[in-house]
Amino acid sequence: MPRTRTVERSRLVPHTIDGTTHLVLDRYTEDVPLPPRDWDRIVLTSVTAAAAVIGAASILWSTASIGSLLDIVVPLTAAAYAAALVFDLVWLSCMALEWLARYDQERAVLPRRAGYVALGIAMGAVGTHGWISGEFAIGCVAATVSGLAKVMWTVVLRHHSKPLDARTQQWVDAERAKAGGRLAMVSVRRELTRAEQAVTAEQAALSGASGLSPDGNPDRPESQQESPDSEDQPTATGPMTIADAVRTAVSSGITSPDAVLRYVRKVADANAKESSVERYLRGTRKAS
C-alpha cells in the first residue's frame, strides 16, 4: 500500500439562506500519495556531511600538530596555533572557490591547483613535526589525514559539479562580461562626475579672477540693462547644496572668499548669503 499524507484544502461552495446564495469557503482534507524516497539525494547529502566532518577533524589535527611545531620557536603559544590554522584554511578556502566555479571548469582550474599546493605544504609541515619529534613514521601517517580530507572533498566536488557545454559556456561568459561592464561603469561615471565638478569650479575661479563671464566675455552691466531678458536669471536652487558647493570649490583650489561666493551662487543657490558661505568655508578649512 503506498504511503500517503493528509493535506488540508479549501474550495468555494454555494450556500443559500432565505433564498440568498453566496459562495463560502469550505475546508476539507485529502490524502495524497507520497513520492518515493530519493535515496540518491539522501546518500549525496550524507556523503557531503561526512566530508564536512572529515574537513573539521583535519583542521583540528593539522592545527594541533603544526601549532606544536611552531611553538618550538615562537614564544607566544596562541600565535603559533593561530598561524598553524592558516595551513588547512588555505586549501579549504581554495576548495570553496572551486565549488563556486563548479559550472565553469576553466575558472575552477586555478583554485584547484592552488589547493593542491597548499595541501602539500600543510602535509609537509605535519610530517616535519613528526620527524623533529623522533617519530617520522607517525608524522607521515598524520600527514595523510589532510590528504584524505582533500581527496574526499575533491570527489564530492566532482560529483556536485555540472560542466556546461561549449556554447552554453560562451553564452554565460558573455552575460557575465555584460554585467561586469555595467558594474565597472558605475565607478567610471562617479569619477567623471568628480572631474566635471572640478572643471566647473576651476572655470568659475578663473572667470572670477579675470573679470570675465563664464563664456569668456567681459562683464558688461550696461549691456545687461539694455537687454534684461537676454540672459535667464539663475534658479534659487541648484544641483548642489551650499555646503557641497563650498567643499567642491575648496577641493578645486579656490581660496578667495569672493570667488567661492560666486561659485556657490552659480551652482547651488543664487540667493546664498555671504555670511553663510563664509561659515561653511571656515568649517571646510578646519576640517581639511
- pLDDT means per 10 residues, the chain with 288 residues, are 84 91 91 84 89 88 87 84 88 88 84 90 88 85 86 85 82 86 86 86 72 50 43 45 82 82 83 82 76
Q: Are 122 and 203 within one domain?
A: no
Q: Are 185 and 149 within one domain?
A: no
- 279 domain-assigned: yes
| CA separation for the pair 61, 59 (Å, rounded) | 6
CA distances from 133 to 83, 111, 136, 159 (A): 20, 33, 8, 39
- Which residues are CB-contacts of 215 (< 8 A; sequence separation ≥ 6)? none
Would you mind telling me the total number of residues written for the chain in this entry? 288
C-alpha cell at 253: 583650489
Tell me how many degrees the CA angle 18-20-26 measures, rounded to the nearest 5: 105
- 192 domain-assigned: yes
Task: Name the helix (H) or strand (E) containing 220.
Answer: none
- 20 domain-assigned: no
Q: Are 91 and 139 within one domain?
A: yes
Q: Are 146 and 197 within one domain?
A: no
Q: Are 97 and 193 within one domain?
A: no
Q: Are 140 and 240 within one domain?
A: no
Q: Are 148 and 187 within one domain?
A: no
- 30 domain-assigned: no
Rg (CA), the chain: 36
- Which pLDDT score is estimated for 202? 80
Q: Are 112 and 191 within one domain?
A: no
Question: Quick one: which of 115, 116, 117, 99 has its CA closest to 107?
Answer: 99
Whether the predicted model's global pTM rises above the 0.85 cut: no
Q: Which amino acid is at 196?
A: E
Q: Are 150 and 44 within one domain?
A: yes
- Which residues are CB-contacts of 240 (< 8 A; sequence separation ≥ 6)? 248, 267, 268
Q: Are 49 and 150 within one domain?
A: yes
- Which residues are CB-contacts of 73 (< 8 A; sequence separation ≥ 6)? none
- 56 domain-assigned: yes
- Which pLDDT score is estimated for 14? 92
- 46 domain-assigned: yes
| CA separation for the pair 210, 151 (Å, rounded) | 75
- 67 domain-assigned: yes
Q: Are 125 and 193 within one domain?
A: no
Task: Name the helix (H) or strand (E) containing 2.
Answer: none
Q: Are 153 and 194 within one domain?
A: no
- 26 domain-assigned: no
- Which pLDDT score is estimated for 239? 58
Determine the structural domain holding residue 47 and report its residue range: 39-160
Number of folded domains that form the chain: 2
